[in-house]
Structure 1
Amino acid sequence: MLEYTLMTAYAILSLALVLAFIRLVIGPSLPDRVVALELIASLMIGFIAIYTLSSKATAFLDVAMVLALTAFLAAVGFARLLEKGAHRDAD
Structure 2
Amino acid sequence: MSLVTDVLLGGAGAFIVLSAVVLYRVVRGPTMQDRVIAVNAIGTNIVVIIALVAAATGNPGALDIAIVYALLNFVMSIAISKFTVERGGVL
Query: TM-score under structure 1 normalisation?
Result: 0.84
Superposed CA offset, 1:62-84 (max 9, x none)? 11111111111111112222332
User: 1:14: how far off?
Assistant: 1.8
- Describe how 1:34-49 pairs up with structure 2 within 5 A: 34-49=36-51
Q: Structure 2, unaligned stretches of length 5 or more?
A: none
Asked if structure 2 preserves the Cα contact closer than 8 Å seen for 1:27 and 1:33, the reply is yes
The partner residue of 1:8 within 7, 10, 19 is 10
- Describe how 1:11-90 pairs up with structure 2 within 5 A: 11-84=13-86, 86-88=87-89
Counterpart Cα distance in 2 of 1:11 and 1:48: 11
Superposed CA offset, 1:5-60 (max 9, x none)? 12330232022111111111111111111111111110110110011011111111
CA-atom RMSD, angstroms? 1.9
Q: How many corresponding residue pairs?
A: 89
Identical-residue share of aligned pairs (%): 21
Relative to its length, the structure with more helix (as a share) is 2
Counterpart Cα distance in 1 of 2:9 and 2:59: 18
User: 1:87: how far off?
Assistant: 4.7
Any idea what SS the aligned residue of 2:59 has?
coil
Counterpart Cα distance in 2 of 1:57 and 1:8: 17
Q: Structure 1, unaligned stretches of length 5 or more?
A: none
